[in-house]
């Protein structure tokens, strides 16, 4: 899992988190732990790069929703980038795409923070 700082027009630091595999419970627990470390450093603008994910389970989505709620409480945001069509369909069926923005790629997701 990688993380990097990006600077947008408002000089906000956007963290890019690479899921690196499927969005199941164990993978999303690792992401949640990384999110917790970033939040402790006051880094609350994040892009979750899911382009490698082929499968998503409900436990993983639950962890994602929990993390999103925590980040938004702190006036930040978490968006998704690079979802395959099959993963995007799962986001649509579960309503995840109504909770959070889903972008085609990381670049577009990072740019979205310059408008917030």
State the chain's maximal CA–CA distance in angstroms: 35
- Strand positions, DSSP E, the chain: 5-7, 13-18, 45-49, 77-81, 102-103
Backbone angles phi, psi at 18, to 5 degrees: -90, 120
The predicted pLDDT at position 57 comes to: 93
pLDDT tens profile 15-28: 999 998 899 999 99
Fold held by 5-115: Transcription Regulator spoIIAA (3.30.750)
Confidence band, pLDDT 50/70/90 cuts, at residue 114: confident
Nearest to 82 by CA among 61, 53, 59, 60: 53
CA geometry: angle at 90 spanning 50 and 84, to 5°?
40
């Amino acid at each position: 899992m990688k993380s990097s700082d990006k600077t947008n027009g408002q000089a906000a630091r956007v963290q890019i988190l690479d899921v690196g595999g499927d969005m199941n419970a164990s993978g999303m627990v690792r992401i949640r732990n990384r999110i917790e470390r970033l939040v402790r450093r006051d880094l609350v603008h994040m892009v979750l790069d899911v382009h490698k994910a082929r499968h998503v389970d409900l436990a993983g989505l639950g962890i994602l929703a929990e993390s999103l709620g925590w980040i938004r409480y702190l006036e930040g945001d978490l968006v998704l980038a690079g979802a395959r069509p099959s993963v995007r369909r799962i986001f649509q069926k579960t309503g995840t795409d109504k909770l959070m923005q889903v972008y085609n790629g990381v670049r577009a997701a990072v740019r979205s923070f310059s408008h917030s």
